[in-house]
Structure 1
């Protein structure tokens, strides 16, 4: 276990509902190749903190990596909805681009 990972785990133990710490931990797990842990934290984050819009892009990309295109597309759609609600145009733009690419890939598979 890396020092950074241990630090994040320790911080999260103190404030388990902090969306940024959950996001950072998921991202660190992904960086270390611990895909199942990353997936669990990203999924928990969108469930408990749907307004934390940065998560949707990364969760969608992870679903794509895991060849779960339907989950990726649904995640991008939810993220776009939440980004619009928060008026986060930067996140919305990124999610729209990822969504379009995922839908095109899905159509290519047919």
Structure 2
């Protein structure tokens, strides 16, 4: 069985070769989350958001991390932005996932948009 860190090393290597590769950043962030390296994952997700704001998957994952960290306002704003982007991209499934995440945020916290 391969070492779990091999995947992280491979993704980091790919990212070093192509620093603007949103897919590699996203995959690396998810791998880091599996190892509870939240701060590193947030940095990668935020980097994707800055360089590639149309990368729809980042809105859910970064929003959930903000929620987990107690940044409810940021989480709600990100979910709302993601919902609008999903509508623009006609991605109904992601729009519904983000809408559900926003509703859960409202139920679990004092967030109001």
- TM norm structure 2: 0.89
> What is the aligned-residue RMSD (CA, Å)?
1.4
Match of 1:107, SS?
A: coil
Structure holding more helix per residue: 1
In the alignment, which residue of structure 2 is the partner of 1:15? Answer: 18
Question: In 2, distance between residues paired with 1:90 and 1:20?
Answer: 20
1:51-94 CA-partner distances (Å, limit 9, x unpaired): 11111111111111111111110110111111111111111010
- TM norm structure 1: 0.91
Give unpaired runs (5+ residues) of structure 2. none
Contact 1:50 1:82 in 2 (8 A): no
Q: How many residues align?
A: 108
| Residue of structure 2 aligned with 1:94, choices 72, 97, 101 | 97
